[in-house]
Structure 1
Amino acid sequence: MSEPLHFVVKTRLVEVIERLGEGGALPPERVLAKDFGVSRWTMRQAIRELIADGRLRARQGQGTFVATPKLVQPLALVSYTEALRAQGHTPAREVVKFEEIAADDVLAEQLAIASGDRVYELERVLFADGQPIGLETTYMSVQRFPTLREVLDPTGSLYRCLTGQLGVRFGEGEELVETVIATPREAELLKATQSLPMLLLHRNTRDADGHPIEVVRSLYRGDRVGFRATLRP
């Protein structure tokens, strides 16, 4: 079975990308279409897929450029801050909301509290080197962590605060990863289009005694972030 034409074009474009190198400007779509002997629609489709793959980045009014390599995050109970710094990047967070809400039945079961109990909802945009890469929402029991608002700098590391100031010992966590399309609000916060594939992570974390610590929903730009897990038999 022959490969779709846009896939063949995409493969050839990867060679162009490798020659240009990081930050290099891709020739205009019409020029590439003419050089490759294909329609502009076919070229546009190939370029869109490479943008979704994180190989290219479009800048409105400027053109399309070779993207920086994706950030690779470990699927592990580690601080986002420390994981990025270990890769030579500068992490930052912007607080969208930090408030108390009433737990619904699902959240109450996950945090082992009663439905209607107060829960912190901490939503933050995650940045790497000044660029938004993720949107993280964390839920924690107010009853278990009554002083969290007093001791946590919400623009800093939550894990460092929990272990250093609140004496929490992390035990284990469960994480589910799936692909989704962002809502208009999420796309706006991440400075992305709704057509851009997103990676959604759901994580439940427990302490060393098996008690729930947090429930986390993390949405990452698929063009900027990948994940790595260490597998052992």
Structure 2
Amino acid sequence: MMGDSSSSSSWSSQTDTQDDRMIALMLSEEYTKLDGAVGRRLSNLAPVPHVPRINSYIPNLNDATLDHQRLLQRLNVYGLCELKVSGDGNCQFRALSDQLYRSSEYHKQVRGEVVKQLKDNRTIYESYVPMKYKRYYKRMAKLGEWGDHITLQAAADRFAAKICLLTSFRDTCFIEIMPRDQAPKRELWLSFWSEVHYNSLYDNQAVPVQQKPKRKHWLF
């Protein structure tokens, strides 16, 4: 009887895992169809190449206020809208989660995938990290740790996605992060209030209603 119970539990776990992966695939394919609306709005902008780097300069209150006003003006000019995510230190991963799955609530899993990418591909990212590399990716594994431009590159690589940032930088309106060594399968659009906050970005006419997670546990 003990053997039968163990086999039943193992079979149930395998079934749940297969169900989770199927849901992830269906969601990803469904939302890929929505890609392109923001890109068409910004088709006349030349993107600036991305340079992976950690967070360093944090603007003072006056600079941050001016930066935010600049970002809002750009959103208005290009007919774009932010779907706001929580400013709890996880905003980059929440915004990526929303772009991938139309819910910011998968941010823990997105962070986990990004950290796995960093851990498994040390030679790609280590030169951009001005500290002990193991210390860096272990720090990034902690909830509430701010994502940076290195984690954006790792996310682009992990999810085979072109990540596009509409920024508040004075001289850099649009940054494009391309996946390394592979063609992008989709585009993810984020707004970036420089060194302060990320949000998920949409065309004004195509802002979705955020979905609740379909399962309590999510496996990629």
Bigger strand share: 1
Structure with greater helix share of residues: 2
Give the TM-score taking structure 1 as reference length. Answer: 0.24
* Rg larger in structure: 1
Ranked by relative contact order (alpha carbons within 8 Å, sequence separation 6 or more), the top structure is 2
